[in-house]
């Protein structure tokens, strides 16, 4: 099996999987200190997958999202099924999720089923033979691929193929593109350890692992075999779609907490007519007014304790689309290049401006300026005229 090219072909999928996992985990756990989240918000506990017509619920949903979603496990192809001793399972295209009410032997309550073990050489031989894919010699090759290797056999394989890596836990090894895929997706944490050596059937190379199977054909990328579907078929489990009802269709944006905005009805009185802003230091909030009516509100970051933003009535006296800001205040130095949408309101360097270096709005962070979220700053720079009133209150 020529693998120098194969290893390259498969790399794109490995990195995309890693990237998706990182994104999902970041989205699932909001950054501590990020500006306030709507206290009445909660993410959905169940989502519907229209591609297969099944839903994912609770702990299974947590596992699916945190592990890479459809890219890692495929979509659900059955409803949840209660088995003996109360174990609940759900089949996915490439996996089976299991919930053990009393915990499994390792103390885990939600696990990935070791579905690769259920394939086994007899099932694989029957599967390929039923399609006319295996001659008797090939049947023997598939069966032998599952036989554990001795130390001597493992050493010989490493000599024959320098990229070969032996895994003593299951006494099988990997090489080339299959090894690259396995290592880049977390090794045993994702697929488990190899249960077989690589074997070829019907012109396709396969390798089976504790929790899945990889396959490769000349001219194609390495891909997961839909083992979950194979076993659902084998066990005669219904994969008929279910109704959506009121369950929301899955979209990762459902799990991103909406940012709370300061309540408009709690805004201080407008400082006269025209366009103006009021900033509350105690609430770390800003309200923008036009002719006495609030048109926008946001959380901001004003000066830290020893750099408190001054209170009082001011006006915007100059505007710069971008400025490098550097200096020393109170023994602290700062150097921030290309600060966007700068609107000065004192002659001592205090300004409203865009802030790309943090998202900790709602908490004092600055050396006296008023840090605005980037989207608010873009809007306000265009909206605010020179001479606009800026009222800063406690």
The predicted pLDDT at position 148 comes to 92
The closest alpha carbon to 298, from 312, 287, 309, 307, belongs to 287
Q: If you search the block for the tokens 């066990």, which residue do you land on?
A: 235
| Same domain membership, residue 320 and residue 223 | no
With beta carbons less than 8 A apart as the criterion, state whether 290 and 278 touch: no
346 with 270, same domain?
Answer: yes
Residues 33 and 50 in one domain: yes
Sheet holding 285-290, edge to edge: 293-299, 285-290, 275-280, 389-393, 312-315
Q: Which long-range contacts (CB under 8 A, 24 or more apart) does 305-308 make?
A: 305/364, 306/330, 307/332, 307/366, 307/367, 307/368, 308/281, 308/368
Q: Which residues in the chain show pLDDT less than 50?
A: 1-34, 134, 136-137, 139-140
Residues 219 and 314 in one domain: no
Looking at residue 247, its pLDDT comes to 96
243, 258, 273 - which closes a domain: 258
The secondary element (H helix, E strand) that includes residue 299 is strand 293-299
Alpha carbon distance 240, 32 (integer Å): 42
What's the helix, strand, coil split of the chain in %, to 5? Answer: 30, 30, 40
pLDDT score at 334: 73
Is there a single domain that holds both residue 237 and residue 143? yes
**Per-residue pLDDT tens digits for 351-371:** 999 999 988 888 898 989 999
Measured distance CA(381)–CA(374) in Å, rounded: 11
Q: Which domain holds residue 95?
A: 1-258
Q: Are residues 242 and 107 in the same domain?
A: yes
Which pLDDT value is given to residue 27?
A: 36
Print burial letters for 379-391: b (CB count within 10 Å at least 16), e (below 16).
Answer: bbbeebeeebbbb
Q: 297-334: per-residue pLDDT in tens?
A: 999 999 988 889 999 999 999 999 999 987 766 667 77
Q: Are residues 90 and 142 in the same domain?
A: yes
Of 227, 258, 289, the residue at which a domain comes to its end is 258
Instruction: Look at the chain and report how many structural domains it folds into.
Output: 2
Give CA–CA dist 388/392, Å, rounded. 13
pLDDT of residue 48: 97
Please check whether residues 241 and 335 belong to one and the same domain.
no
Given this model, what pLDDT does residue 237 score?
Answer: 95
Q: What pLDDT score does 141 carry?
A: 64
Cα 58 from Cα 73, distance rounded (Å): 16
Provide the pLDDT for residue 259. Answer: 67
Q: DSSP string of 215-269?
A: EE-TTS--EE--HHHHHHHHTT--------TTPPBP-GGGGSPPBP---GGGPPP
Residue for token pair 């000349």: 218
Residues 127 and 199 in one domain: yes
Neighbouring C-beta atoms of residue 170, cutoff 10 Å: 17
Sheet holding 212-216, edge to edge: 199-201, 204-209, 212-216, 223-224
Q: Could you tell me if 108 and 243 lie in one domain?
A: yes
35 with 70, same domain: the answer is yes
pTM of the shown model? 0.64
Backbone angles phi, psi at 146, to 5 degrees: -90, -5
The alpha helices in the chain, defined as continuous H runs, are 4-28, 58-66, 70-73, 115-130, 136-145, 151-160, 176-184, 227-234, 374-383
CATH number reported for the structural domain that contains residue 273 in this entry: 2.40.440.10
Listed residues 226, 258, 290: the one ending a domain: 258
Residues 285 and 382 grouped into a single domain: yes
Distance between start and end Cα atoms, the chain: 72
């Amino acid at each position: 099996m020529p693998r120098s090219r194969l290893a390259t072909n498969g790399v794109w999928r490995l990195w995309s999987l890693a990237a998706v996992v990182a994104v999902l985990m970041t989205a699932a756990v909001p950054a501590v200190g990020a500006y306030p989240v709507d206290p009445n918000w909660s993410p959905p506990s169940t989502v519907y997958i229209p591609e297969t017509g099944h839903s994912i619920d609770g702990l299974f949903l947590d596992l699916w999202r945190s592990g890479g979603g459809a890219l890692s496990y495929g979509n659900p192809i059955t409803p949840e099924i209660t088995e003996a001793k109360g174990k609940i399972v759900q089949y996915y295209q490439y996996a089976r999720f299991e919930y053990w009410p009393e915990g499994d032997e390792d103390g885990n309550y939600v696990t990935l089923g070791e579905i690769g073990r259920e394939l086994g050489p007899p099932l694989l031989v029957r599967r390929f033979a039923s399609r006319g894919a295996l001659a008797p010699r090939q049947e023997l090759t598939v069966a032998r691929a599952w036989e554990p290797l001795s130390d001597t056999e493992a050493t010989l394989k490493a000599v024959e193929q320098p990229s070969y890596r032996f895994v003593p836990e299951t006494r099988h090894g990997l090489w080339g593109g299959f090894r690259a895929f396995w290592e880049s997706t977390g090794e045993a944490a994702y697929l488990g350890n190899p249960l077989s050596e690589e074997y070829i059937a019907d012109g396709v190379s396969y390798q089976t692992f504790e929790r899945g199977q990889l396959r490769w054909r000349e001219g194609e990328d390495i891909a997961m075999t839909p083992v979950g579907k194979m076993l659902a078929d084998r066990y005669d489990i219904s994969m008929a779609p279910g109704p959506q009802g009121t369950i929301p269709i899955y979209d990762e944006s459902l799990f991103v907490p909406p940012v709370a905005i300061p309540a408009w009805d709690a805004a201080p009185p407008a400082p006269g007519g025209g366009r103006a802003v009021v900033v509350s230091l105690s609430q770390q909030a800003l309200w923008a007014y036009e002719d006495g009516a609030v048109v926008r509100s946001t959380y901001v970051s004003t000066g830290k304790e020893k750099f408190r933003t001054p209170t009082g009535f001011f006006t915007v006296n100059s505007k710069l689309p971008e400025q490098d800001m550097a200096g020393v205040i109170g023994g602290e130095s700062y150097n921030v290049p290309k600060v966007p949408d700068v609107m000065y309101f004192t002659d001592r360097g205090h300004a409203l401006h865009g802030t790309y270096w943090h998202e900790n709005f709602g908490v004092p962070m600055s050396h006296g300026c008023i840090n605005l979220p980037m989207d608010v700053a873009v809007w306000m720079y265009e909206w605010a005229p020179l001479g606009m009133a800026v009222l800063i209150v406690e």
